[in-house]
Structure 1
Amino acid sequence: MKLTVEISSYPLADDYLTPIKDFIDQLNQYPSILVLTNTLSTQLFGEYDDVMHALQACIKWSYEKYGKVIFVCKFLHGDLRP
């Protein structure tokens, strides 16, 4: 099953750009998902299990490295890439 996720990251830190960029870099380590980034959010496209595995691992990594980070996600059934 295909999945589209839109995710935004809001690190609770003065230097908020570094954790965001690092989170996106971590997502890009997963070749089975497509990662598209714009100024408002990052979109992930791929098979459900692949996308969810990448999200779980990258969110955990972000919490362990940077502590308090808010993630806002939208999950949509299907591949809705532009």
Structure 2
Amino acid sequence: MEISVELTFSPLQDGYEPQIIRFIKALRESGLTVLENPMSTQIYGDYARVMEVLNQEIYTSLEGVEQGVFYLKMVKTDRSAYEPHF
């Protein structure tokens, strides 16, 4: 089953940039399709693989900060090729 996930990681502390950079680099190295913009990161791929990567990287990210929030949206389909039709 293919999925699309949009997420935002918000460490609640000063000096947060290194943790966000580490998280995004780990996603890029996962072999999944990863798209980034200034507001969020999107990950596309097989459900089991996406969840395996997110499970590990969210855990590692939360271990690296005193407090942090992840905002996540998921849809059951690979939307990576979406182009507006209007």
Normalising by structure 1, report the TM-score. Answer: 0.91
Separation in 2 of the partners of 1:18 and 1:41?
A: 16
Count of aligned pairs between the two proteins: 81
Partner in structure 1 of residue 25 of structure 2: 25
| Bigger Cα Rg | 2
Partner in structure 1 of residue 34 of structure 2: 35
Question: Residues 8-67 of structure 1, C-alpha deviation per residue, up to 9 Å, x if partnerless?
Answer: 010011112221111111112211x11111000000000000100010000011112223
* Secondary structure class of the residue paired with 1:44: strand
CA RMSD for the aligned pairs? 1.0
Normalising by structure 2, report the TM-score. Answer: 0.87
Unaligned runs of 5+ in 1: none
Identity %: 35
Partner in structure 2 of residue 8 of structure 1: 8
* Secondary structure class of the residue paired with 1:35: strand
Aligned pair 1:44/2:53, yes or no? no
Separation in 2 of the partners of 1:56 and 1:41?
A: 18
Q: Point out 4+ residue stretches in structure 1 off by more than 6 angstroms.
A: none
